[in-house]
């Protein structure tokens, strides 16, 4: 009976992890379009974020390398905000504030960030014209180009920080997660 309970608990944990997007990167499309390439960039971000944040502890979330730096938890909040800007562009919505992210738990922020990235990638993957997805801040609009070099690349940058910070706090990144293949080695 005890073995059955342990098996059920392990399966439940596995099911919970695989329900989140980007445990692995989806298969790539057969054709290259502006939308499919932009979507693949987001898939890479999602995979990196998934594994950068997988298994973080309270100690990891509170870690910062110096007094002037953000903690890993604050960096995760920043990436969440970037993911909202990214998805809002694909939904053609303005970035006018919204949720108070500090009220979310780490797991809620992680899940919502991954879902935002996945939503944006799915929209882009099926788009013929990415120029329609402008970044909107009130009355100001910026072309999709700014999404590439702005929030998308900024989020990738910060994923690297989380990986570095977690190594420094004694909880290294899962080395079986291959960013080259987008798969988890057995």
**Each residue's pLDDT tens digit, 114-171:** 999 999 999 999 999 999 999 999 999 999 999 999 999 999 999 999 999 999 999 9
The reported pLDDT for the residue numbered 103 is 83
Domain boundaries, the chain: 35-174
The reported pLDDT for the residue numbered 13 is 46
**35-174 architecture in CATH?**
Up-down Bundle (1.20)
Per-residue pLDDT at 19 exceeds 60? yes
Residue 166 structure tokens = 């977690």
* pLDDT bracket for residue 86 (50, 70, 90): very high
- What is the rounded radius of gyration, in angstroms, for the C-alpha atoms of the chain? 17
The reported pLDDT for the residue numbered 2 is 43
């Amino acid at each position: 009976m005890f073995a059955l309970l342990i098996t059920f608990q392990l399966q439940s944990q596995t099911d919970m992890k695989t329900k989140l997007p980007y445990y692995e990167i989806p298969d790539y499309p057969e054709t290259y379009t502006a939308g499919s390439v932009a979507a693949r960039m987001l898939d890479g971000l999602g995979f990196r974020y998934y594994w950068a944040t997988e298994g973080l502890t309270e100690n990891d979330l509170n870690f910062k390398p110096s007094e002037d730096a953000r903690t890993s938890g604050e960096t995760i909040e920043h990436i969440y905000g970037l993911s909202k800007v990214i998805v809002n562009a694909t939904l053609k919505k303005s970035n006018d504030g919204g949720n108070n992210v500090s009220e979310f738990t780490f797991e809620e922020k992680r899940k919502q960030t991954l879902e935002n990235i996945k939503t944006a990638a799915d929209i882009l993957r099926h788009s013929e014209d990415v120029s329609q997805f402008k970044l909107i801040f009130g009355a100001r609009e910026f072309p999709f180009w700014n999404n590439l070099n702005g929030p998308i690349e900024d989020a990738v940058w910060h994923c690297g920080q989380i990986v570095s910070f977690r190594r420094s706090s004694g909880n290294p990144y899962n080395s079986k997660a291959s960013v080259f293949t987008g798969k988890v080695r057995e």
